[in-house]
Amino acid sequence: MMSNRSTDALFQLIQSLHKAEKRHFKLYIKRSSAKEDLKIVELFDTLDKLPDYDERLLLKKLPSIQKPQLNNIKTHLYKQLLASLRDLKSTDTLELQLSEQLDNARILYHKGLKHQALKILERARELAKANGKFNYLAQVISLEKKIETLHITRTIQEKTEKLTQEALEISGHIDRVTRLSNLALRLYGWYVMHGHARNEKDEAGIRKFFKEQLPADAFQLTDFYERLYLYQSFTWYAFIRQDFLMYYRYAQKWKDLFDENEVMKKVEIGHYIKGLHNLLNAHFDLRNFRQFEIVLKEFEDFGATPIAQQHDNFRIHTDIYINSARLNWHLMTGTFKEGLSLVDKIAANLEEYALYVDPHRIVVFNYKFATLYFGSGDYNTCIDYLQKIINDTSADLRIDLQSYARLMHLLAHYELGNDVIIESLIKSVYRFMAKMKNLTVVEEEMFRFLRHSFGLTPRKMKPELEQFLHKIKHLEKSRFETRAFAYLDIISWVESKVYEKPMSKVIHDKYLQRVKQKSRH
């Protein structure tokens, strides 16, 4: 089970600190010796030792703090912790460096030292420009314009012209980036809520939306951020529509953009690792086994670099994406039993990252774990993992995964021969999926087969399975049916029954056959 960690913001912040950060906070706070600060150190030490946030226990351990004072002292401690982290990490990221320079320029300006302020702004402008940080550039230019407008700084006319021209260019750029990043975000939101397009109606809706929102000059854009959000938008658009070839092309463009602009791997590390994650998913969907291995190795190498390790957020996400890819490798090559050796370690990592991992990610991992157990023939453990998804209260997340968890749950009981509950399970799963308007042709055939055959003897079952296989085999190439095979390889499951081979062997043989074919070309 994932731990239900406290949601108290201060407690979470303290729990996320490393030894060096805690040590720096103590030194930072010692610089001031106000009475109130001594109380916040006591509060810090006590919260640091608590396994979970418990206010009653906290007050019991801190007799010097009365209940009415607690909220104010907590707020003060939170602010001081952030100030201490800012002090420690001000050179860690470009954004913090730029913010610091802007703050320094404002302080000097308010002191009346206008020329010194302008000098700092000049440096900040060059740094922001070199790294494509146009939002900061806009703030820098805004302050420069303010100083130039309100005060005679004896700067030449040429500079004033340059400032106004630059301000216009930047506002146009920010507008384009905003529109493209909005489009990418809304498409991603659609996917998180609905999963893949299920039919022509979904497809038409998403196509219309995309066409209306895409800027007319999208393909004339040359700036890094404009191209980044353009490629992201196309990546999500293709993924939702299950156009996996287009998905691959744009995920590759997304990664190539970073390879062309190496410095951005440090500036925009979050976008870079997300690009690698999508490229791996595209190779997984297309069963590009060799390319998958190459990109995974590249990702693992990057994950070990100081850049990837520098910030907790990116270190955790790199770890999660790499682990997801390692599981995918076993799922697509049919090496389910080998994949099981990763489950405990990954589950322990997810437990450790409980504060930072969104529920959607947990659902996906539990589904992958369940699939590995299903493919290994351990149906009871498979059911345990599926129950976690089925009982998940955040049911608005990934309707498709909720549906497939129920379908695999039904198949696991079918495999275990739990005939008593099969009939009611078939009805409830069918109702759930139909209510979600989530039935593809493959799924309709699946239910028809199950309803018709769950009571048959093994001898009579064989022809039914063969007929079922015949009906769905040709759908393997149909785009709206690919979801059925991406989440649960129903064809391989049926083939394992028809040819009386373990499902893992059926999938592994297909993998070996694909590799053989590729090596011939």
Check if the beta carbon of residue 92 is closer than 8 Å to that of residue 311: yes
DSSP states along 124-143:
HHHHHHHTT-HHHHHHHHHH
Q: Please, which pLDDT band fits residue 4 given cuts at 50, 70 and 90?
A: very low
pTM reported for the whole predicted model: 0.74
Give CA–CA dist 507/72, Å, rounded: 60
Task: Give the pLDDT confidence of 429-469 residue by residue, as tens digits.
Answer: 888 877 766 567 777 788 788 777 766 776 777 788 888 88
CA distance 439 to 432: 10
**3-state helix/strand/coil string of 258-281:** HHHCCCHHHHCHHHHHHHHHHHHH
Give the Å distances, CA to CA, from 499 to 49, 367, 415, 505: 59, 26, 16, 11
| Residue 15 burial (C-beta neighbours within 10 Å; 0-12, 13-18, 19+) | middle
The stretches of 261-398 forming alpha helices (DSSP H) are: 264-267, 269-286, 289-303, 306-309, 312-333, 336-352, 359-376, 379-390
30 vs 45: CA distance, rounded Å:
14
Q: What is the pLDDT of residue 157?
A: 58
The answer to whether residue 339 scores a pLDDT higher than 80 is yes
Q: Tell me if 309 sits within 8 A of 332, measured CB to CB.
A: no
| Predicted local confidence at residue 333, as pLDDT | 94
Query: What confidence score (pLDDT) does residue 473 get?
Result: 81
Cα dihedral 143/83/4/354 (nearest 10): 70
Cα–Cα separations (whole angstroms), residue 354 to 2, 263, 363: 7, 31, 13
Fold classification of 334-521 is 1.25.40
Size (the chain), residues: 521
Identify the band that residue 36 occupies on the pLDDT scale cut at 50, 70 and 90. low
Residue the block writes with tokens 């995920």: 251
Domain boundaries, the chain: 9-89, 94-155, 334-521
Contact 314, 273 (CB under 8 A): yes
Contact 385, 375 (CB under 8 A): no
User: Is residue 49 pLDDT above 80, yes or no?
Assistant: yes
The top-scoring range by mean pLDDT among 24-28, 37-41, 117-121, 152-156 is 117-121
Residue 145 Cα distances to 98, 125, 156, 161, angstroms = 18, 13, 13, 11
d(C-alpha 363, C-alpha 389), whole Å = 6
26-to-1, 84, 125, 500 alpha-carbon distances in Å = 35, 9, 35, 66
Residue-wise pLDDT tens digits, 238-265? 999 888 899 999 999 999 999 999 988 9
Q: Is 62 helix (H, G, I), strand (E, B) or coil?
A: coil
CB 157: neighbour CB atoms within 10 A? 7
Tally of CB atoms within 10 A around 106: 16
The residue among 475 and 253 whose pLDDT is bigger is: 253
Sign of CA dihedral 357, 359, 360, 365: positive
Which has more confidence, 254 or 164? 254
Nearest to 517 by CA among 285, 242, 287: 287
Exposed/middle/buried for 435, CB within 10 Å: 0-12, 13-18, 19+?
exposed
